[in-house]
Amino acid sequence: MTTLKAVRGTRDLLPPETALWNRIETTARAVFARYNFGEIRTPIFEDTSLFARGVGEETDIVSKEMFTWEDRARAQSEKPQMLTLRPENTAGVVRAYIEHKLGETGQLQKLFYIGPQFRRERPQKGRYRQFFQIGAEVIGPPSAGSESPLRDAEVLEMLASLLDELGITGWTLELNSVGSPADRARYNDTLRAALEPVKAKMCVDCQRRAETNPLRVLDCKVPADQPIIATLPVIADSLDDDSKTHFAAVTAALDAAGVPYTRNHRLVRGLDYYTRTTFEFTHGGLGAQNALLGGGRYDGLSEAIGGPKAPGIGFAMGEDRLVLTLLAQESNQNLTVKADAFIAPLGESLNAPALALARELRRAGLTIELGDGSFRLKKSFEAADKTARAIVILGEDELKSGILTVKTFATGVQTKVPRAELASSLANPAPE
Ligand code: ATP
Ligand code: MG
């Protein structure tokens, strides 16, 4: 029989690495709480049209990366429904915002999510078909201040703090503005004209993009095209006064808060509903997949999927890439945590009393490994040395007298400890 394996592009996350995943999620939750964000959990699958409309037919995600299937019709008269595993979470959050009329509260909604996303991509380091994102959205009616550049700056400052707190050093914040839809249309015309005389020298994808969606040329990764792209006009010169003022206010607030950034004129992020601020945090250690996270403002998204006017800004961090970055750092080389003690019952008749002792110590907050009375003492010592800082021996004598034998591995010291003092003595091992 062939052995079954996890499907291409998916993977199992195992201990001790999952400790790092949990640490990242705990830190993210704590940071989000300080900025007064609440958690949202949307379904893993949605109606396909949500992504077609909310992410955009033209994007890589929708045009080639979605896992989509036709659901069985519930009745003969009904059309079968097309469903898709969520490739990202912003569309789902905005759908929920509309569905639950969250805009009617008149308040800004500050929502974060943590969960798996699915894209049919070519798997490689830092790129999987099931991957995890930690993201957040700030969205609300304009009267709640949702268009304010201060919201953009606050989200960026929060991200800088979160990455710092996670211990990720050496990140770069790349920032740009794609302006209003009118600015972008103007820029597309400018680009199309600029590409006309040079496009024949570019890759086939760029030749097509030069006709259909010139903005996408800026995303091209083909080395030979880069010198040509470097000479193209930048979107900054196509922005109107409102867009320029908005961007200047974002950068002024970042300067005041001391958050460093670099302007990346090529950061245009293709989605139709993106407006004004766009950003990515990158990290050199990641190689080709160097984006830790991406985000931006999406003032037209709610209306694009049939909702009220609800400007917003958000981001999605690639949790897999945060893990890769942290694993490459020295401080995370040893994630294995040892238990406080290993309890070794001397004989099977002591198994039940050993469970009672383990329960006592675990209830006192200690991490306990429980051995087995069928083990020889030598085997218990070997198992204990691998998994715990100390071994507690429980024989008939110890059970009767209530005085236990404890050996601490780091010091090699063996002592007798009364049962009533055992928990505190294991919690505070004698100094080495
Ligand atoms: P890329 O250019 O790397 O494909 P993207 O623009 O498709 O990124 P977004 O849709 O903005 O990515 O997603 C936000 C973040 O999610 C990315 O910056 C990245 O960290 C992570 N991410 C995206 N796709 C994957 C994937 N297939 N596997 C792992 N992480 C991913
Ligand atoms: Mg992608």
Cα(242) to ligand 2 centroid in Å equals: 30
Please report which ligand is nearest the Cα atom of 289: 1
Cα(198) to ligand 1 centroid in Å equals: 30
Question: Does residue 282's CB lie within 6 angstroms of at least one atom of ligand 1?
Answer: no
CATH architecture, range 341-427: 3-Layer(aba) Sandwich (3.40)
Rounded average pLDDT over 134-162? 98
Q: pTM here?
A: 0.93
Contact 18, 55 (CB under 8 A): no
Q: Tell me which long-range contacts 67-76 makes (C-beta under 8 A, separation of at least 24).
A: 67/118, 67/119, 67/120
Mean residue pLDDT of the chain comes to 94
Ligand 1 atom having least distance to the Cα of 316: 14
Q: Which residue has better confidence, 332 or 368? A: 368
Mutate to test the pocket of ligand 1, among 289, 325, 326 (most ligand atoms within 8 A of CB): 289
Report the pLDDT value the prediction gives residue 195, as an integer from 0 to 100.
Answer: 93
* Proportion of the chain above pLDDT 90, given as a percent: 86
pLDDT tens-place string over residues 90-120: 999 999 999 999 999 999 999 999 999 999 9
* Residue range(s) in the chain whose domain bears CATH number 3.30.930.10: 17-180+240-332
pLDDT tens-place string over residues 351-388: 999 999 999 999 999 999 999 999 999 999 999 999 99
Reference 278, options 248, 315, 234; nearest CA is: 315
Contact 390, 402 (CB under 8 A): no
HEC readout, 62-84: HHHHCCEEECCCCCCCCCCCEEE
- Kindly tell me if the per-residue pLDDT of 429 is higher than 70: no
Question: Does residue 316's CB lie within 6 angstroms of at least one atom of ligand 1?
Answer: yes
Q: Taking the domain 17-180+240-332, which CATH number applies?
A: 3.30.930.10
Ligand 1 atom having least distance to the Cα of 135: 14
Report the pLDDT value the prediction gives residue 183, as an integer from 0 to 100.
Answer: 94
* Residue range(s) in the chain whose domain bears CATH number 3.40.50.800: 341-427
Report the pLDDT value the prediction gives residue 432, as an integer from 0 to 100.
Answer: 46
- Kindly tell me if the per-residue pLDDT of 270 is higher than 70: no
Report the pLDDT value the prediction gives residue 75, as an integer from 0 to 100.
Answer: 77
